[in-house]
Chain A
């Protein structure tokens, strides 16, 4: 906290005292006069400044100051305010979560009664699909790539690495059954953690296929993607295989990040003990130097984390293994949709800065899509964006699954794994563009990069779609 009520202060701090007293009782209802006079823009800028400062403190381990900053942000941020306020709310929640992880017992205790409502999760994903065009564009491009790759094929097998949304395959079924050379025999294998989702999908798809007389079969595979055994996919010889991965690959980059333990003061136990001993033994004049080293360790980004890094860093083992397994199935086509942002920096500040930009774009999208009072918008922001932010900011190691990376890194990875890029067709992009235009929102843009499509919001790339073939 800023100060104690009973502490004697010099006269210069009397307004400070008032402020601090007000901060102790947040529900007073009487806002601080100076805060009230902040206009939305000023408030937004102030929030950004506060966020960065707070994150800086958290990265340094100076929790007291972080606490102060959090307190101030909480006066301004709100999940139902304007975009910057909402963003600040979720980012500070993430930062607070990160701080709390230094006390694992406390953290676990606070989260012990939290239950994840499956229905809500499913609903939120559906809302995301409906409210924003990103998934739809990805589906349109995927389907078009599949149709083109499967020209002339009689037996088509599609593997969906996250079979949650039937609309994608419903559209494909319709397109395939209307193709001039006749209907293929279609088989779709869907992987998902929840059996209910797969059941629903099976029902919906078989219904659609029956309506159109398309020979169709749906094979559900229940389980986590990271534990997937490719044998379960039952790929048969003689069938043309297409794999669709929508926002699934980045979680394979999560690993223990051994070298990160030394870097962040929070979350590493042994080394901080060492720090303490060294600090106690040292002269205070060298304290600054020690801390400088510490903070340098904690804050300086490793040079390889960002753009031109060698991919053989920690965490690549799992993804390589998975990509190799997929390559071993010899797919005729693999369409990869991923977030196109670098949220996998090794330090907190890096990730925070990047995610500030990306989520600013997403929250702006959300603002132009739904009203501020919209409950669905709140749900999507809280349960989807908020959770992603929390994962990016507060988690480390294997816990941190939202390891988004830029498109060029994915291109590198896929090339290394033996895949060759197939440029997405003009017709598919036309379709997608038309879809985006139908959204009546100026912000959405689509650009083409080396045969891949990047969906942007006002020049900020958000998602990328690329198509690959198995290169032997």
Chain B
């Protein structure tokens, strides 16, 4: 019983013991496979061998009409029909029959066995007769009768009302659904099926990336999880949306309706952006998979997303292809929206790429110097070390450490570097370079030292907050130093510049005084300043302060 009953619709669920008790005798004969030996069934009632239980039983063959007749207890007196024998007895009392006939007959009631009137049925044979009238009636209805009772939740039909009742009690309450779409009411059969389910095997074959990457990347790394994403699609392709609703818990089907209905295709309009996102991702997934093949991460994480548009599209029974979905997206509602979105994304990608390429050409050293690549963290630490170690050293060692080959003098092989650094050192270095050459070395070195000191505090301060306090002090002191240095040299020019004539500053706006001026220029909103500042962004020095 255990093995076969699950697959036959005959027996409903295993929970209904009553049914089984009644069906005990029929079960053995009803299943074609059990025609000979059902002896090992673990049922409460002992099964008898069919056809041999009562060898001397009276075999009764009723016609179908009689079998299906509802009133089979007929009163001899008035020929009235009754469904139950007790009702007939009660009725007979009313006839005032003599005492003798009231009693049941003394002789032992002869056992009756019944035959199924259907000639093709196995129970038509007297040796395979059924012993119970109710049983034969049910058998006849089930097997050869019309199924008039239908379950409201699912599509199952039943000929016998008690079967139908038993089923509808358990329909939808405790069901197991394999990911391939098959439903089970029994846990053991469900588990057995799942172990050998073809669909599961297909899933794993089709989405190997899902398993390997999702499995490790997803939370809990459990097997259940990374199956689900890929199989969203399958499930929803197999089942109509009504099944989705049905499989909710009994406690909240109305809520699920409410939640699911927005997701039905009819209300896809509600979430165009999400569709677009999914389509976007899907497109990119396709796009990159087909064309570029780079970005290994595109395939795996978005593969799950690729399923989602199908998910939505397949709940609709017609051809809701992804093209329709894209219609609802950001782009226009043409049937070419699919291609448009793809091309748009391609364009975006191309623009991005072209943006890259322009950058690439201007800084073309990227692909050349990749080999000894340090991580950014290591670079920062190194910079901090350099800053701290060269605080008391020569300026040249600092610069050397920073990768330039600047000698101690300012005129070197790489003169371009020094002005750069000079400008970086708040411009005072450059100013001294330009204005007074004789002060170059001393100033530059002094500035480098101060900046090195400052650098050390900068870099170390990155790690611990306390030291960043030094920086403020540093900058102030550095400025002071710069000012002092500058004052030593070009005080004349400072004065001039400060008054805003700015005549000499044909060269860089990196002049020290210039900088102060600009500091004031830029940050103030004085209209005169502003206009002058804005007029010639490249000629700050030229601005007249009106």
Contact = CB atoms under 8 A, between A and B. Distances in A.
> Which of B271, B362, B437 has the largest number of chain A CB atoms within 10 A?
B362
Given A7-B507, A119-B280, A60 B519 contact: yes
Contacts of A180: none
B117 interface: no
B375 A168 contact: no
A123 B471 CA distance: 40
A119 B273 contact: yes
Which label, helix, strand, loop or mixed, suits the secondary structure of the B interface?
Answer: helix
A315 interface: no
Contacts of A218: 259
A371 interface: yes
Given A80-B359, A378-B352, A295 B364 contact: no
B453 interface: no
Given A206-B259, A272-B523, A140 B359 contact: no
B362 A26 contact: yes
A38 B365 contact: yes
Contact of A196 (B277, B403, B508): B277
A123 B427 CA distance: 44
Contacts of B262: 199, 202-203
Contacts of B403: 38-39, 41-43, 45-46
> Which of B217, B379, B514 has the largest number of chain A CB atoms within 10 A?
B379
Contact of A292 (B471, B479, B506): B479
B427 A62 contact: yes
Interface in A60-83: 60-65, 68-69, 72, 75-83
A68 B271 contact: no
B154 interface: no
Contact of B259 (A122, A202, A306, A438): A202
Interface in B424-447: 424-427, 433-434, 437
B174 to A, nearest CB: 8
A206 B526 CA distance: 61
B325 interface: no
A196 B297 contact: no
Nearest to B361: A29
B23 interface: no
B461 A2 contact: no
A370 B473 contact: no
Contacts of A122: 273-274, 277
Given A38-B369, A300-B472, A4 B506 contact: yes
A16 interface: yes
A356 interface: yes
Given A211-B228, A296-B476, A52 B458 contact: yes
A64 B386 contact: no
Contact of A374 (B297, B330, B404): B297
A276 interface: yes
Contact of A207 (B225, B232, B249, B402): B232
Nearest to A208: B228
A1 interface: yes
Nearest to B176: A213
A438 B305 CA distance: 22
Given A202-B259, A375-B352, A130 B297 contact: yes
Interface string A348-363: 0110011011011101
A269 interface: yes
Interface stretch (A237-245, A283-291, A387-395): A283-291
Interface stretch (B92-100, B159-167, B414-422): B414-422
A299 interface: yes
Given A81-B366, A122-B277, A34 B220 contact: no
A273 B540 CA distance: 19
A82 B352 contact: no
B251 A185 contact: yes
Contacts of A130: 217, 297, 300-301
B283 to A, nearest CB: 11
B383 A79 contact: no
A123 B366 contact: no
Interface residues of B, number: 137
Contact of B495 (A10, A284, A306): A284
Contact of B372 (A39, A292, A354, A375): A39
B358 A127 contact: no
Contacts of A347: 472
A261 interface: no
B282 to A, nearest CB: 11
B294 interface: yes
Interface stretch (B135-143, B200-208, B462-470): B462-470
A197 B274 contact: yes
Contacts of B300: 130
Residues of A in contact with B, size category: 35 or more
B454 to A, nearest CB: 8
Contacts of B76: none
Interface in B531-546: 534, 537-540
A53 interface: yes
Contacts of B426: 56-57, 60, 62, 65
A78 to B, nearest CB: 5
Contacts of B339: none
A320 B309 CA distance: 42
Interface stretch (A170-178, A323-331, A413-421, A464-472): A170-178
B369 A196 contact: no
Contact of A65 (B222, B404, B419, B427): B427
Contacts of B50: none
Contact of B383 (A10, A48, A72, A215): A48
A107 interface: no
Contacts of B252: 215-217
A18 to B, nearest CB: 8
Nearest to A140: B219
Nearest to A205: B259
B362 A272 contact: no
Interface of B: 177, 216-222, 224-225, 228, 232, 244, 247-249, 251-252, 255-256, 259-260, 262-263, 270-274, 276-277, 280-281, 284, 288, 292, 294-298, 300-301, 305, 329-330, 349, 352, 356, 358-366, 368-377, 379-380, 382-383, 386, 401-404, 411, 414-417, 419-420, 423-427, 433-434, 437, 455, 458-459, 461-463, 465-466, 468-469, 471-473, 475-477, 479-480, 483-484, 494-495, 498, 506-510, 514-516, 518-520, 522-526, 529, 534, 537-540
Given A31-B362, A119-B280, A357-B462, 8 more contacts: A1-B539, A40-B374, A195-B270, A196-B274, A273-B524, A275-B523, A292-B476, A345-B468
The 10 closest A-B pairs by CB, nearest first: A300-B472, A42-B403, A306-B465, A7-B506, A438-B216, A130-B301, A360-B376, A171-B219, A288-B483, A196-B274
23 contacts: A1-B539, A4-B539, A12-B437, A31-B365, A45-B379, A60-B475, A79-B356, A81-B366, A127-B297, A143-B219, A170-B225, A174-B220, A196-B271, A207-B244, A213-B247, A265-B519, A272-B523, A272-B525, A276-B529, A296-B473, A370-B296, A374-B296, A457-B377
